[in-house]
């Protein structure tokens, strides 16, 4: 086994997540709750921690309060062993401006790299659901001797214009990289699929720092990882792809070995939850060999009274199902579902309350929402729109934080 290199991981967590509105009206996208007790950022941080990469800087900017709080309360690592998860807000170290793009976020935080002097820098996005052995990607990076490695996955071509698209040679060298092309090319062996960047990169330190400094001086650059940094290394012949089909983590199943989801839209976010509550989900949250870590709430166990039921559902601690019926839904801590209420195919954040005889169907209720006795949400699209709720393309109704649903 080779000596363990010094690795600094930088997690980009400053994105606004506009397409997840209104869930991101009041919080950064990586802080959006997921799966009852998690937040999106827990997946990347768990992957890094499980891979033994325990020096992590999380770069935050947009509405970062709940994200900072979550990191501070949850991700306390042992400083004795040199581990840390540091939440680093924009600090205007290089001038008066906020981060101009994801590469500028790292440039403005170069002191982290100078202080830590890592051999390699892992730069990962913060808003995807997946399990990944980052060490295997690091090994591939070191073995290649190249300056940049990009994680890649096949996605349906119909969705590929949202991603950076990779054209790679048989030896994995990237020949061409197109950031979010309007008409993404298909793969030779599968024309309906494209090879997409997962927004996860590994760089060799010296080359990366030199590139960031040059990029900061370039008036034509958008200072974007996918738009500028990756194409720079590709043009230099110094970039390769790490194919995610090689991914394997302890305890993974054939189904979830290559599971990776961008839950960046309300529909994708809701669909990923419906997968979690299915009898045989694609993504297995219960893999104890590669745990996804999160904050454990101080709350008593979920309680079911007055013949309250939950089927095919995740019900978190502190919930009280008092005579209502919950079906194919995910409930965060401290949700109350009252007598004769029905909750179906819904995602309910902590502290929400569903009153007697109320109906919640294919809806997402943000924190603290109150559905009054007898009220309905997700049942009639026009009525939901008229009440000012957001309704997604596939008809998922979202009620904003602390909102009320009146009868």
- The least distance separating ligand ADQ from the CB of residue 404, rounded to whole angstroms, comes to 31
Q: Which is nearer to ligand ADQ, 106 or 375 (CB)?
A: 106
Query: How far is Cα 9 from Cα 20, in angstroms, rounded to an integer?
Result: 26
The answer to whether 164 is annotated as binding is yes
Name the DSSP letter for residue 124: E
Neighbours of 33 (CB within 10 A): 25
- The least distance separating ligand ADQ from the CB of residue 206, rounded to whole angstroms, comes to 23
- The least distance separating ligand ADQ from the CB of residue 150, rounded to whole angstroms, comes to 8
Q: Which is nearer to ligand ADQ, 22 or 181 (CB)?
A: 181
Q: Which is nearer to ligand ADQ, 53 or 310 (CB)?
A: 53
- The least distance separating ligand ADQ from the CB of residue 97, rounded to whole angstroms, comes to 11
3-state SS, residue 173: strand
Residue 31 contacts residue 67 (beta carbons within 8 Å): yes
Residues whose CB falls within 8 Å of the CB of residue 93, separated by 6 or more in sequence, listed in order = 108, 109, 111
- The least distance separating ligand ADQ from the CB of residue 199, rounded to whole angstroms, comes to 3
Query: How far is Cα 325 from Cα 310, in angstroms, rounded to an integer?
Result: 6
Consecutive H or E run containing 6: none
- The least distance separating ligand ADQ from the CB of residue 160, rounded to whole angstroms, comes to 9
E-strand ranges in 219-301 read 239-243, 260-262
Neighbours of 94 (CB within 10 A): 12
Nearest residue to 107 via CA among 249, 241, 225? 225
The answer to whether 99 is annotated as binding is yes
**Based on the number of CB atoms within 10 Å of its own CB, is 401 exposed (0-12), middle (13-18) or buried (19 or more)?**
middle
Query: How far is Cα 229 from Cα 108, in angstroms, rounded to an integer?
Result: 15
Residue 48 contacts residue 56 (beta carbons within 8 Å): yes
Residue 281 contacts residue 34 (beta carbons within 8 Å): no
The answer to whether 180 is annotated as binding is yes
- The least distance separating ligand ADQ from the CB of residue 285, rounded to whole angstroms, comes to 21
Query: How far is Cα 388 from Cα 398, in angstroms, rounded to an integer?
Result: 10
Query: How far is Cα 185 from Cα 178, in angstroms, rounded to an integer?
Result: 10
Residues that bind ligand ADQ (CB under 6 A): 12-15, 29-30, 59, 61, 99, 101-102, 105, 125-127, 163-164, 179, 196-199, 225-226, 262
Q: Which parts are annotated binding residues for alpha-D-glucose 1-phosphate?
A: 99, 164, 179-180, 197
Q: Which parts are annotated binding residues?
A: 99, 164, 179-180, 197
């Amino acid at each position: 086994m080779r000596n363990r290199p010094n690795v600094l991981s930088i997690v980009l967590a400053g994105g606004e997540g506009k397409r997840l509105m209104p869930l991101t009206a009041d919080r950064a996208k990586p802080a959006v709750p997921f799966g009852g007790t998690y937040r999106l950022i827990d997946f990347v941080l768990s992957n890094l921690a499980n891979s033994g990469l325990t020096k992590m800087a999380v770069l935050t900017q947009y509405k970062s309060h709940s994200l900072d709080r979550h990191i501070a309360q949850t991700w306390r690592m042992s400083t004795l062993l040199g581990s840390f998860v540091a939440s680093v807000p924009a600090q205007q170290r290089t001038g008066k401006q906020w981060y101009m793009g994801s590469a500028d976020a790292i440039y403005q935080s170069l002191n982290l790299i100078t202080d830590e002097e890592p051999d390699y820098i892992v730069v990962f996005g913060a808003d995807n659901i997946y399990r990944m052995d980052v060490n295997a990607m690091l090994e591939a990076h070191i073995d290649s001797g190249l300056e940049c490695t990009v994680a890649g996955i096949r996605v349906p071509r119909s969705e590929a214009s949202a991603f950076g698209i990779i054209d790679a040679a048989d030896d994995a060298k990237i020949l061409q990289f197109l950031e979010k092309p309007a008409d993404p090319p298909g793969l030779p062996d599968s024309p309906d699929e494209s090879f997409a960047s997962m927004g996860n990169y590994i760089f060799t330190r010296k080359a990366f720092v030199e590139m960031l400094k040059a990029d900061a001086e370039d008036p034509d650059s958008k200072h974007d990882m996918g738009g500028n940094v990756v194409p720079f290394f590709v043009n230099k012949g110094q970039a390769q792809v790490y194919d995610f089909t090689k991914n394997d983590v302890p305890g993974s199943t054939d189904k979830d070995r290559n599971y990776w989801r961008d839950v960046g839209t309300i529909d994708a976010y809701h669909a990923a939850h419906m997968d979690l509550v299915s009898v045989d989900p694609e993504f297995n949250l219960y893999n104890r060999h590669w745990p996804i870590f999160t904050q454990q709430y101080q709350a008593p166990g979920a309680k079911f009274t007055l013949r309250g039921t939950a089927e095919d559902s995740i019900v978190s601690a502190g919930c009280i199902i008092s005579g209502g019926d919950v079906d194919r839904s995910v409930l965060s801590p401290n949700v109350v579902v009252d007598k004769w209420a029905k909750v179906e195919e819904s995602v309910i954040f902590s502290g929400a309350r569903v009153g007697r005889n109320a109906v919640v169907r294919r809806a997402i209720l943000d924190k603290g929402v109150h559905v009054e006795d007898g009220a309905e949400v997700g049942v009639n699209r026009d009525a939901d729109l008229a009440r000012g709720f957001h309704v997604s393309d596939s008809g998922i109704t979202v009620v904003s934080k602390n909102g009320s649903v009146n009868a």
